[in-house]
Amino acid sequence: MKRAGELELALAERPPGISLQRWLCGELRAAILSGRIAPGGRLPSTRDFARQQGVSRGTVLAAYEQLIAEGYLAGTTGSGTCVVPNLPVAPPLADTTPPPAAPPRLSRLGRLLADSPFASREGRTTARPFSPNQPDLQAFPRAVWHRLSSRHSRTIRADDLGYAEPAGDPLLRRAIAEHLRYAQRIACTADNVMIVGSAQQALDLCARLLLDAGDGALVEDPGYPGAARLFALSGATVHGVPVDAAGMRTDALPPGRLAYVTAAHQSPLGGTMPVDRRLALLAWAEAQDALIVEDDYDGEYRFDGAPLPAMKSLDRHGRVLYLGTFSKLLFPALRLAYAVVPDWLVEPFAAALSLTCRHQSLFQQGVLAAFIDEGHFARHLRQMRQRYGERAAAFEQACRAQLAGLLQVAPITTGLDATALLPAASDDRAVVAALAQWGIETRPIAFYRLQQPAPPGLVMGFSSFGEPAIRRGIAAMRPVLETLLG
Amino acid sequence: MKRAGELELALAERPPGISLQRWLCGELRAAILSGRIAPGGRLPSTRDFARQQGVSRGTVLAAYEQLIAEGYLAGTTGSGTCVVPNLPVAPPLADTTPPPAAPPRLSRLGRLLADSPFASREGRTTARPFSPNQPDLQAFPRAVWHRLSSRHSRTIRADDLGYAEPAGDPLLRRAIAEHLRYAQRIACTADNVMIVGSAQQALDLCARLLLDAGDGALVEDPGYPGAARLFALSGATVHGVPVDAAGMRTDALPPGRLAYVTAAHQSPLGGTMPVDRRLALLAWAEAQDALIVEDDYDGEYRFDGAPLPAMKSLDRHGRVLYLGTFSKLLFPALRLAYAVVPDWLVEPFAAALSLTCRHQSLFQQGVLAAFIDEGHFARHLRQMRQRYGERAAAFEQACRAQLAGLLQVAPITTGLDATALLPAASDDRAVVAALAQWGIETRPIAFYRLQQPAPPGLVMGFSSFGEPAIRRGIAAMRPVLETLLG
């Protein structure tokens, strides 16, 4: 009697490097999914199939068992091996139509998330004058880091490889708290320090922990777009608050639950917020039951005196979250930053971290803790403060000598970047595009604009370029600016 | 003439290790903020103040300049140095009242975020039998990792220290794509692979990218609470879909935009989803314009044959996001995981990563890429599959020998954990608590329950304990279970 399933399957040739069984399973799956063996169809006996395909019976048996485990085949004693009867081999899977043209839609939030201000294909390239927000990577003590890193990886115990506290390595948190108590006069303990992968991650959590739809979120305008975009995700109403040479203006603050300020070095206009505005903003937060996020991305680099104490040092009622990042102080690829959160926010923040990421890589945290504890961090900051100060002076001087009347640079007191104002009514995006054609990288103030008018100008990094490169770069700008603005 | 500001300030003694100028600045700030020097009040001349305090005039001058920079003082030539007139030294800052009793309220989302199912103070401790979700950390080849890590840190160039692509190190993405093409038959390229810090991070982004308020999100019930909690953050309606021994039941799926499945090894009940259900779920996703998240947290450890191809391998229309983590395959502290996303989701996912975190630490990515490329990863998986398989068999056998009638363990085919059912109507939380008193760690199935009934039972890890420890642990359970259930 001829068996119902007496089919002789034409199988594709076995590719090199693929085992017989793997090949056989793959061919059978494809035959079932494409409908060449119909649901319910009976397969040849292992003996027959082995003979047809010229393989051993054991190989066929193992393939059948694998496909039974995967639910393609059902084996019943006596009646042989069948394709599972009701297998839903739907036409869309059985034919070869291409995917539908319209991809699934994103959520409202998803469309906002997909509109990131950061490059999605940022490559590893050497920074060119005057690309902003770049510490001098050449100056980082890689040999020291290697030594600490190697020592750390050599001494890791098995118990160090498991899950750890969401808030981070206790040694690193203690080292950061000690540094901040001294350098920023922030009265905090290690418990207040939350280790995150980046300032962005901390801002994202702040927005989600604090903002309901319709709540006010105050940002500097012009200001850092990476913060405003995240606050908008919560459905909050983002208020762009005007900025002048002394940072965010505090004379007419709208209501809100969160305010974001770069008090030490306003991004992008460069001002330092004086104490009267700091106190006014703190009083606003108290009256509004709001949180202030103080993003101190490069305030440790203060050239004309000691770094100013953080606004957080004035915070008596747990209204300020202080944010720092090692991306600017050490190097971006490290991906470690920290938030000093008020006592009442410690548990919610740690819980939110545990739910959305568990915790950061322990390895780099351990190396960084040693780097701080053994004095390398303080030494590096000291050296970079000196170096960046010299470059700031060279940059200012070159601008005055070469670009007077074209570009107006305020005295640089802080940070990695200078802001240079263009003549009123010029188009800073066009200037940036023209400079880029001559190999000069700058960023327009327009990039930072939200709702308020902003003066046209360029944000220019000086910190990662030597003085000759700075002078050459500034000299190269002159003909371009003269042509555009003349 | 006596100067208006002729005050003699009583300053606190200078603590050891603090410079004169730092001390003087701190004391002056405190005096101003506390109202001891009123807004508008004039300070002594530098000469007088230096004499009063017994310090050099240069020190006082530097302190005054620092406080002028900070906005506490205003200096006008001729009329001396004054406290800024309108400084808003508000009573809440000037007195010493304690912080208000009620901390600022969290957002609706914030309250959900703060309710994480993970311990917020998880310490680094050695796992005890039978704590689940633990790879064997003792067996990880730390010496090999150290060698690769040290080599990598020695050869880092300055250009490697900057920002990089949000989606991750191209070498690592390629290595993962190659591994998945072979091991899981997933047709993907490096472009589809997104490096994240954890499965949690990827789930968080999926939920935000896809789910609007009111959308349906389908989860297994009982199922992994870390996923359901994140989906709820979007305001989605989380549907707990019943689970049986073959995973999520697909006979009555509610409408939705996202479905989360652990197809290879259902967490917690342990079943493997057969191909008919996989195809039914794919058809559901196609009809609903939905995304399926296939979380393959430990499916690579399949003991009774080759690992099953991922559900993603059946995905012809970009409906499946495949999620894998190195936390279970290597070690949790590494904090690296990956999502294989359909083509249409590549750009939105990368943009969302860049906005919410920029990218993961490059260092560990580089070490891991070498670990995979040089064959250590495949070797480790092979060795662990063997080892965990032996332990699974020892665990099963010990349960049968010691706990028959008390605990019913299904054959263990996959993963790091076994699920053992208790007699119907027993209280698994009470059993877990009682076992914990005897030093036995287990997790109740109730921990995974959402809306559907679930059988009482225990999730027990066997993978990180040697066979003697397994036998001792099982033997120690017997009297406890007899007392509770007898």
Per-residue model confidence as pLDDT tens digits over B7-43: 677 788 888 888 898 899 998 998 898 888 888 888 8
How close, in Å, is residue A407 to chain B by CA atoms?
A: 25
Amino acid at A103: P
Distance of residue B1 Cα from the nearest chain A Cα, in angstroms: 31
Answer yes or no: do B276 and A334 touch at CB < 8 A.
no
At the fourth CATH level, the homologous superfamily of domain A383-485 is Aspartate Aminotransferase, domain 1 (3.90.1150.10)
What is the distance in angstroms between the Cα of A166 and the nearest Cα belonging to chain B? 6
* Cβ of residue A202 closer than 8 Å to a chain B Cβ: no
Residue type, A70: E
User: CB B138 to CB A158 under 8 A?
Assistant: yes
Looking at CATH, the fold of the domain delimited by B385-485 is given as Aspartate Aminotransferase, domain 1 (3.90.1150)
Select the residue from A33, A93, A107, A286 to test the B interface by mutation, using most B Cβ atoms within 10 A.
A107
Answer yes or no: do A230 and B160 touch at CB < 8 A: no
Q: B305 to chain A: which residues are within 8 Å by CB?
A: 62, 65-66, 69
Contact B190, B365 (CB under 8 A): no
Give me the amino acid identity at A343: D
| Domain range list for chain B | 20-94, 139-378, 385-485
Distance (Å) from the C-alpha of residue A485 to the closest C-alpha of chain B?
33
Q: Which parts of chain A sit beneath pLDDT 70?
A: 1-7, 76-78, 90-102, 121-125
pLDDT of residue A90: 57
What distance in Å separates the CA atoms of residue A5 and residue A423, rounded to the nearest whole number? 84
Q: Can you tell me the distance from the alpha carbon of A306 to that of A302, in angstroms, rounded to the nearest whole number?
A: 7
CB contacts, 8 Å: B82 with chain A: none
Determine, for residues A153 and B137 on separate chains, whether the beta-carbon distance falls below 8 Å.
no
- Tell which CATH architecture fits domain A141-378: 3-Layer(aba) Sandwich (3.40)
- Kindly tell me the number of DSSP H helices and DSSP E strands found in chain B: 16, 14
Measure the CA–CA gap between B185 and B175, rounded to whole angstroms: 14
Domain spanning A20-94, CATH architecture: Orthogonal Bundle (1.10)
Best of A113, A157, A211 to substitute, by most chain B Cβ atoms within 10 angstroms, is A113
Helix (H) or strand (E) holding B207: helix B199-210
**Residue A238: strand pairing partners:** A217
Strands A258-261 and A408-409: unpaired
Residue B92 has pLDDT above 50, yes or no: no
Confidence at residue A481, expressed as pLDDT on a 0 to 100 scale: 95
Confidence at residue A92, expressed as pLDDT on a 0 to 100 scale = 43
Interface test with B, best of A116, A133, A178 (most B CBs within 10 A): A116
Partner residue facing B106 (CB), from A104, A124, A210: A210
A161/B332 CB distance under 8 A: yes
Task: Say yes or no for a CB contact (<8 Å) between B226 and A137.
Answer: no
- The reply to whether residue B150 touches residue A154, judged by beta carbons under 8 angstroms, is yes
pLDDT of residue A78: 66
CA angle in degrees (0–180, nearest 5) for B54-B58-B62: 110
Contacts of B214 (CB under 8 A, 6+ apart): B235, B236, B237
| Separation in Å, CA A149 to CA A156, A169, A364, A368, A370 | 11, 16, 8, 9, 9
Interface of B with A in 379-438 (CB under 8 A): 413
Query: In chain A, which residue's Cα lies nearest the Cα of B206?
Result: A110
Task: Kindly write down the DSSP assignment for every residue of A292-355, as one continuous string.
Answer: EEEE-SSTT-BSSSSPPPPGGGG-SSS-EEEEEEHHHHT-GGG--EEEE--HHHHHHHHHHHHH
Q: Which pLDDT score is estimated for B103?
A: 72
Q: Of A22, A116, A208, which is closest to B355 when you measure between CB atoms?
A: A116
Q: Do B274 and A84 touch (CB under 8 A)?
A: yes
Look at strands B247-248 and B80-83 and give their pairing.
unpaired
| ipTM (interface pTM) | 0.93
Q: How far apart are CA A320 and CA A312, in angstroms?
A: 6
What is residue B97's predicted lDDT score, i.e. its pLDDT?
A: 53
| Interchain CB contact of A356 with B (< 8 Å) | yes
Looking at every residue in chain B, the average pLDDT score rounds to 91
A155, burial (CB in 10 Å: exposed 0-12, middle 13-18, buried 19+): exposed
Question: Cβ distance B153 to B363 under 8 Å?
Answer: yes
Look at residue B102 and give its three-state secondary structure.
coil
Residue A409's pLDDT is 93
CATH number for the domain whose boundaries are B139-378: 3.40.640.10
Question: B96 pLDDT exceeds 70?
Answer: no
Region B177-181 average pLDDT: 94
User: Which value, to the nearest 10 degrees, does the dihedral of the CA atoms of residues A170, A173, A175, A176 take?
Assistant: 180
Q: What is the mean pLDDT of residues B82-108?
A: 69
Do B20-94 and B139-378 fold alike per CATH? Answer: no
Sign for the pseudo-dihedral over CA of B241, B242, B247, B248: negative
What's the confidence (pLDDT) of residue B161? 94
Least Cα separation, residue B422 to chain A (angstroms) = 26
Q: Do B99 and A316 touch (CB under 8 A)?
A: yes
A211 touches chain B (CB under 8 A): yes
Segment B245-288, tens digit of pLDDT: 999 999 999 999 999 999 999 999 999 999 999 999 999 999 99
Count, residues in chain B: 486
**C-alpha–C-alpha distance, residues A176 and A377, integer Å:** 11
End-to-end Cα separation, chain B, in angstroms: 98
Confidence at residue B377, expressed as pLDDT on a 0 to 100 scale: 97
